[in-house]
């Protein structure tokens, strides 16, 4: 059975509540940013996870840590009545606590409020979004209007492709009727479609020889790689939303040696699910033109595309009408970047992404969040979570 939105949600009251909570929301964000959390330093990410776990417990959440060896622990916190309305009414609130910024970044890029923005590493992607989620849950809990179970899931490996959290995300999404992803907005829009991503590595093995003495005995791996690069780049089809980009390449040893080895790392983006197997077949079928060279091709699609399905459109329409009640227009957008929303949407669970902060500069020096949008979007999230 499908849940129906409650037409009586007092959006204006939620907005007033979110405005009152704004100083606290900013404080929580700053505390999370101060706990630097690069994906590859478990102890650092766990420090940040611990802060959120304590906060979630203080809000009455039932916290469970999925312990990890290599990456930071994955945090699951349940709020509201336990599944009173069944899976269709249960909601997954999805985010991550890891960032791309190494420990020590704060020294060069301090977290500060200036010109109506909160600046700092991980503010936009996506610690402000986590603080928004906690604030929305706090508002609903205090008002006694959290009438359904909300599962907050924050992982520690999103920025490196979610290798360990993916099965947890997929299992919990399967128990929910909707997924809201707290990744940053795209401009002012939320995200109803994302491209899928793939990574490949191509290694060419040729035959080394002296470039002057034995030229004809050599088989250049670099020359062969150049042909392969041209081939795979030609698979790009912008109309289909399919792109193939060789991002890094290398090879050879000395100028006077015919290179025996060369390699390339390839980024692939797909808008349609069907292009995944198609790309996998094409990469698997690559062959060297020079018979003396051989290829080793590894990789594959790691995140399926988040297609704009009917369930997602319904979530978006509801969000749009709630935003209108709050006095702003919520548009939808598609993006070439992937998130954990790709996994949940591919399972067929309606997924609305980009419900986090508005700002600029994710993964860049000018990473920042626009403060004036925090309260309205937190109120929107609270409205979406209220049954």
The footprint of Zn ion on residues 276-315 (CB under 5 A) is none
Interface mask toward Zn ion for 340-379; x: CB under 5 A: ----------------------------------------
In the set 93, 126, 221, 338, which binds Zn ion (CB under 5 A)? 126
Q: Write down the least CB distance from residue 86 to Zn ion, Å.
A: 30
Nearer to Zn ion, 73 or 125 (CB): 125
Nearer to Zn ion, 275 or 367 (CB): 367
Q: Write down the least CB distance from residue 279 to Zn ion, Å.
A: 24
Is residue 125 a contact residue for Zn ion (CB under 5 A)? yes
Q: Give the residue at shortest CB distance from Zn ion.
A: 125
Q: Write down the least CB distance from residue 221 to Zn ion, Å.
A: 37
Is residue 98 a contact residue for Zn ion (CB under 5 A)? no
Interface mask toward Zn ion for 151-190; x: CB under 5 A: --------------------------------x-------
Structure tokens given for 306: 């988040």
Nearer to Zn ion, 76 or 125 (CB): 125
Count Cβ atoms below 10 Å from residue 367 Cβ, excluding itself. Answer: 26
**74: which residues sit within 8 A by CB, 6+ positions away?**
65, 66, 68, 153, 154, 155, 156, 164, 165, 168
Q: Write down the least CB distance from residue 58 to Zn ion, Å.
A: 25
The footprint of Zn ion on residues 206-265 (CB under 5 A) is none
Count Cβ atoms below 10 Å from residue 344 Cβ, excluding itself. Answer: 27
Nearer to Zn ion, 9 or 185 (CB): 185
Nearer to Zn ion, 160 or 295 (CB): 160
Nearer to Zn ion, 157 or 183 (CB): 183
Is residue 76 a contact residue for Zn ion (CB under 5 A)? no
Residues in the site for Zn ion, rule: CB under 5 A?
125-126, 183
């Amino acid at each position: 059975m499908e849940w129906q939105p409650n037409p009586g949600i007092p959006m204006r009251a939620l907005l007033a509540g979110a405005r009152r909570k704004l100083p606290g929301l900013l404080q929580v964000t700053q505390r999370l940013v101060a706990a630097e959390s690069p994906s590859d330093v478990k102890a650092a990410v766990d420090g940040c996870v611990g802060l959120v776990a304590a906060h979630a417990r203080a809000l009455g959440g039932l916290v469970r840590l999925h312990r990890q060896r290599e990456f930071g622990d994955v945090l699951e916190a349940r709020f509201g009545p336990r599944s009173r309305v069944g899976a269709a009414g249960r909601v997954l609130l999805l985010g991550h606590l890891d960032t791309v910024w190494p420990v020590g970044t704060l020294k060069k890029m301090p977290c500060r409020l200036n010109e109506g923005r909160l600046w700092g590493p991980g503010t936009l992607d996506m610690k402000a979004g986590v603080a928004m989620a906690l604030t929305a849950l706090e508002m609903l809990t205090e008002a006694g209007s959290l009438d359904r179970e909300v599962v907050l899931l924050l992982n520690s490996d999103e920025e490196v492709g979610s290798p360990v959290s993916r099965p947890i995300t997929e299992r919990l999404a399967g128990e929910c009727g909707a997924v809201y992803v707290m990744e940053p907005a795209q401009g002012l829009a939320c995200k109803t479609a994302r491209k899928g991503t793939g990574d490949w590595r191509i290694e060419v093995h040729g035959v080394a020889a002296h470039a002057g003495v034995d030229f004809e005995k050599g088989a250049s791996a670099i020359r062969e790689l150049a042909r392969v690069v041209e081939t795979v780049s030609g698979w790009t089809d912008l109309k289909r939303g399919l792109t193939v980009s060789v991002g890094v390449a290398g090879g050879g040893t000395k100028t006077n040696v015919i290179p025996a080895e060369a390699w390339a790392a390839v980024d692939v983006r797909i808008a349609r699910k069907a292009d995944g197997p198609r790309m996998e077949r094409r990469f698997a079928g690559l062959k060297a033109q020079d018979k003396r060279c051989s290829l080793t091709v590894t990789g594959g699609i790691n995140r399926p595309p988040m297609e704009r399905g009917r369930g997602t459109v319904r979530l978006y329409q509801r969000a749009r009408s709630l935003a209108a009640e709050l006095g702003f227009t919520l548009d939808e957008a598609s993006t070439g970047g992937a998130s954990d929303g790709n996994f949940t949407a591919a399972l067929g669970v309606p997924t609305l992404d980009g419900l986090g902060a508005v700002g600029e500069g994710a993964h860049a020096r000018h990473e920042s969040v626009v403060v004036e949008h925090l309260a309205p979007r937190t109120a929107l999230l609270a409205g979406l979570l209220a049954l």
